[in-house]
Amino acid sequence: MRRFWLMLMVCGLSPVCLAQLDILDMLASKEGMTGTFEQQIISPEGEPLETSNGQFSLLRPDSMRWEIESPDRQLLIASGQQLTQIDWDLEVVIERHLADRDPSILDWLLASDKELEAAFVVEALEAKVVLTPREPSLTLTRLEIARATTLIWEIAVTDSTAQVLKISLFEDPARVPSASDFVAPATDF
């Protein structure tokens, strides 16, 4: 609520500022979300390089499930400081400790207002929020978040080479993520 009144004082009742407030407040109010995704890597010249899709789950404060179903089959599960990556096509399981890593794009979706404001300059442009890192980063030079519809989130991440990762999250309000979503399944390899 404090953030709402502060933004109103700074922005007045500008529709652009209200859009920014709306997007960030909606994300901040979520304990988690589940659904499907489509992601596309775009070259600096604007050419599509790769497209994949699958299912995702996010749960505050630090749990993520990203299951790529096409064109390859991979599963990434982050829970606390542990990352498990399973590649069914290569029959490989990799587990890593995440203590000393830069937050991922999905971590920023779960970040608090305080964390976002500490790490980024936040500005509203039309119907999206643009976050620019306060400190230089090789993996992220610009993060855009927009709400295309009530159940579709659009994310665009630009890296230091001007390559863009576009992600569409199709939220499923009927499914609520639970702790069991973030337990890696057993494999026979």
The answer on pLDDT for 95 being more than 90 is yes
Q: How many contiguous H segments (helices) and E segments (strands) does the chain have?
A: 4, 11
CA distance 60 to 71: 29
Note the helical H segments in the chain.
2-11, 15-29, 105-110, 113-119
pLDDT tens-place string over residues 20-75: 457 888 888 889 999 999 999 999 999 999 999 999 999 988 899 999 999 999 99
Instruction: Specify the CATH number for 2-182; select among 2.30.30.140, 1.10.1380.10, 1.10.1740.10, 2.50.20.10.
Output: 2.50.20.10
Residue 126 structure tokens: 């039309």
What is this structure's pTM?
Answer: 0.84
pLDDT tens-place string over residues 141-182: 999 999 999 999 999 999 999 999 999 999 999 999 999 999
